[in-house]
Amino acid sequence: MALRDQLRVLVVDDMSTSRGLIVQALDTFGVSHVTTAADAKAALVSLAQSPAHIVISDYNMPGSSGLDLLQALRGAQTTQSIGFILITGKADVEIIERGRTLGMNNYVKKPFEPSQLRHAIEAVVGRL
């Protein structure tokens, strides 16, 4: 069984259109075990109910940013080893460096092509 058939992904973005674009990109390369959340709080609830191998999160969300979510994931025993990819339209050096310090595995700059997302995921989990 291919990795893409087993991989469980949680997509976190406050904009439904963006969540849809990410889910659609995942679907194009055969990743079908995908759940979504509209914010960091919902993401943490989702992960408690259904673990994921990788979280793909927007940076700019109301309440808690994607990096706040990353910090929460890395701070909890049950989620500290989940892969984390940040998607941001604002790939400032400070944001990327802070993400790396917190344990971010990779990032993708918006707007992105599906192939860019695929490469980012494969750099974290291996060939899909």
Residue 128 lies in a domain: no
Residue 127 lies in a domain: no
- What is the tally of structural domains in the chain? 1
- What was the pLDDT predicted at 90? 83
| pTM of the predicted model as reported, rounded to 2 decimal places | 0.96
- Judged on CB neighbours under 10 Å (0-12, 13-18, 19+), 53 is middle
pLDDT in tens, 20-54: 999 999 999 999 999 999 999 999 999 999 999 99
For residues 88 and 110, the answer to whether their CB atoms sit within 8 Å is yes
In the DSSP assignment, the letter for residue 30 is: T
Residues spanned by the domain of 16: 3-122
CA dist., res. 51 & res. 10, Å (int): 9
pLDDT in tens, 86-100: 999 987 999 999 999
Residue 56 lies in a domain: yes
Question: What would the two tokens of residue 45 be?
Answer: 């609830």
With bands split at pLDDT 50, 70 and 90, how would you rate the model's confidence at 1?
A: confident
Residue 83 lies in a domain: yes
CATH number at residue 117: 3.40.50.2300
